[in-house]
Amino acid sequence: MIKFIEKLLSIIYIQPCYFCKSTKDDNIICKKCYNKIHFMPPAVYKEYSGCKVYACCLYDDIIKHLIRDLKYHNKKKLSVLFAKLMNDYIKDINLKQEYLIIPVPISKERRKERKYNHMELVSDELSKLTGFKNNKNLLIRIKDTEKQYKLHRTERIKNIKGAFDVNNTEISKETPILIIDDITSTGITLEENIKTLKKSGFKEIIAITLATPDIWN
Ligand SMILES: [Zn+2]
């Protein structure tokens, strides 16, 4: 009887694939749609301030749509999908040790607007999948800045300088840090995050972003 009820419930609550609306056989999107995601090669994508930065996939229409929905349209469940995507990529790059996952912080003003920081949600899910701990308070945003996309490169660098700080001094500076972000285009924000952590004494820092608009070269 219990088995029967479970089966019935699973039929009632089956959600169609986020994209093609077919019955999904995986988290959020079906295998067919998941396989359409353009993963980046499992290699260092860029280096900022001597730290390795990786990008999981190409910022194409699927990923663009998904990031926008998670970030602005309250589709919080997509954090599960992004964590899976990041975890699949992490398995490929073969990290040699455990890292403390740190989501790129947003300002109080931005949090007021959006109600939540989407990368914090991803960090919670990624922590479950990898078994790595995450910390949402270590790196904080102390300055609200003008939206970066409105500015030119030199203005962006000036705008973001000093926008972050390290909050918790109880965490050992020997802890390897893994910063996660959604997209990297100019990398200016990510680099400022890395610089802030380095300045406070952290030595081993890497970063992984969900997507990059650049074509691999
Ligand atoms: Zn699908």
Q: Beta strand pairing status for 164-166 and 139-141?
A: antiparallel
* 190 CA from centroid of ligand 1 (Å): 32
Region 31-45: what's the mean pLDDT? 90
Confidence of residue 8 (pLDDT cuts 50, 70, 90): low
Compute the distance from residue 94 Cα to the ligand 1 centre, in Å: 28
* 63: DSSP letter: H
Residues of the chain with CATH 3.40.50: 37-212
d(CA 99, CA 134): 8
Return the C-alpha torsion angle 168, 173, 174, 179, nearest 10. Answer: 60
Q: Cα of 2 to ligand 1 centre, how many Å?
A: 30
- Which tens digits make up the pLDDT trace of 126-145? 999 999 999 999 999 998 77
Q: 37-212 has which fold?
A: Rossmann fold (3.40.50)
pLDDT value of position 28: 82
How far, in Å, is the centroid of ligand 1 from the Cα of 52?
33
Q: Residue 183's CB: how many other CB atoms inside 10 A?
A: 16
**Residue 79 pLDDT > 50, yes or no?**
yes
Residue 28, both tokens: 């959020």
Stretch 80-101: mean pLDDT: 94
CA geometry: angle 81, 16, 85, nearest 5 deg: 15
Q: Ligand 1 centre from 38 Cα, in Å?
A: 15
Interval between CA 28 and ligand 1 midpoint (Å) = 9
Query: How many angstroms separate the alpha carbon of residue 30 from the centre of ligand 1?
Result: 4
Q: Please tell me the distance between residue 60's alpha carbon and the centre of ligand 1 in angstroms.
A: 16
- The pLDDT-based confidence of 217 (bands split at 50, 70, 90) is very low
Q: Is 70 helix (H, G, I), strand (E, B) or coil?
A: helix
CB 44 within 8 A of CB 59: no
Mean pLDDT score, 33-39: 90
Residue 48: Cβ within 10 Å count: 19
Q: Please tell me the pTM assigned to this model.
A: 0.88
Per-residue pLDDT tens over the stretch 160-191: 888 999 987 789 999 999 999 999 878 889 99
Residue 39 CA to ligand 1 centre (angstroms): 17
Residue 62 and residue 10: Cα distance in Å, rounded?
27
